[in-house]
Structure formats: structure tokens, C-alpha cells
């Protein structure tokens, strides 16, 4: 996404900058969360081994931070089309066939993401009274991270279904492919 050239005008230009901002924000937050996890684990080890202090709450916080880091990373990867894809025959399709396949895949993905977000929302409601042992944090906060991840990917997949393939994302991906 960073190597792509922005469209000259229109709604695609707005979408380009919005998606670029979203990926940079998600990447920044994800990296900050991973750094916080690392610092938290190092602090727990140092406190336990060097100072003889127990910090049992660090496991709960690290788990929550990891869920949110994965959510932000997944959202960023979805925008960049960097999730694992098995591509067996789309290179043999016509331009119309590729466009239809892209939209159908985005629509199916959107349905899956909506279903997963709905499940996370239901689980957050069901586990509102369940709390962690050390800090008494509601498990709902864990499910909110999953909900926001899938809801964000559902919105982007819906946009991909309506918009279809965009040239500014394809150019960046084609540059990465190494031809033998």
C-alpha cells in the first residue's frame, strides 16, 4: 500500500488515503501493543527473579493486549490483501472472470466476517459477568477486540464487493512478485 500511487481524483482517491491511514494506524497500534507485551513480560520476569515479587496480573493483561494486537494486525493485513490465499486458477481467468471472482470472494468473506463479529458480540454479552482472577476485568473486553477486528474487516470486504478490484492495490502487489 505504501508503494502504490494514489488515484488522481474522485472517490478512489479518498478511499486510497483512508485505507492508507487505516493500515498505518493499525500497524502503529499493533506494534505498540506488541512492545507493551514484551515490556510487560520482561518486567514480570525481572520482578519475579530479581526482586522476588509476583505479578500474576501480567498474564491477564498480556493476553488481552495480544488479542487486540492480532485484531489490529489482521485488519491491516486484510486491507493490504496479505492474508494467505490459495490461487489455483484465477491467473487463467479473463478480466471479467477475475472481477467476478474478486467480488464473490469479497462477498463470502464479508458474510463470514459479519457472522464472526456477531458471534464475538454475543460472547461479549454472555461473558459480561465473568471476570479474570487477578484484576477482575470482564471477559467482554477480550471479545470486544475480536468484534472490532471482524467488524472492520466486514466493512472493508463489503466495500471491496461493491467497488471491485482497484488498480492501485494490484500495482503494489505485482511489484512484489518475483518473476523467474
**Model pLDDT for residues 98-145, shown as the tens digit of each residue:** 888 889 989 999 999 999 999 999 999 998 888 888 888 888 888 999
- The whole-angstrom separation of Cα 137 and Cα 63 is 12
Per the DSSP assignment, residues forming a β-bridge with 131 are 138
- The whole-angstrom separation of Cα 174 and Cα 128 is 46
* pLDDT for the residue numbered 1: 57
Q: pLDDT band for 9, please (50, 70, 90 cuts).
A: confident
Interval 10-36: pLDDT, tens: 787 888 888 889 999 999 999 999 999
* pLDDT for the residue numbered 36: 95
Q: What is the pTM of this model?
A: 0.79
Contact 128, 140 (CB under 8 A): yes
What contacts 36, CB < 8 A, 6 or more positions away? 65
Contact 168, 12 (CB under 8 A): yes
Amino acid at each position: 500500500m505504501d508503494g502504490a500511487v494514489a488515484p488522481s481524483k474522485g472517490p478512489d482517491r479518498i478511499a486510497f488515503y483512508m485505507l492508507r491511514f487505516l493500515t498505518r494506524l493499525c500497524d502503529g497500534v499493533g506494534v505498540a501493543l506488541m512492545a507493551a507485551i514484551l515490556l510487560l513480560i520482561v518486567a514480570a520476569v525481572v520482578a519475579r527473579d530479581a526482586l522476588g515479587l509476583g505479578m500474576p496480573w501480567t498474564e491477564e493483561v498480556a493476553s488481552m493486549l495480544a488479542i487486540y494486537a492480532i485484531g489490529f494486525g489482521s485488519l491491516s493485513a486484510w486491507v493490504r490483501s496479505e492474508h494467505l490465499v490459495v490461487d489455483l486458477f484465477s491467473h487463467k481467468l479473463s478480466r471479467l472472470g477475475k472481477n467476478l471472482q474478486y467480488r464473490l470472494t469479497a462477498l463470502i468473506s464479508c458474510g463470514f466476517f459479519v457472522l464472526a463479529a456477531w458471534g464475538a458480540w454475543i460472547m461479549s454479552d454472555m461473558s459480561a459477568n465473568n471476570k479474570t482472577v487477578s484484576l477482575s476485568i470482564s471477559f467482554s473486553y477480550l471479545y470486544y477486540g475480536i468484534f472490532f477486528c471482524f467488524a472492520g474487516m466486514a466493512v472493508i470486504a463489503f466495500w471491496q464487493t461493491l467497488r471491485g478490484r482497484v488498480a492501485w492495490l494490484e500495482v503494489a502487489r505485482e511489484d512484489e512478485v518475483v518473476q523467474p
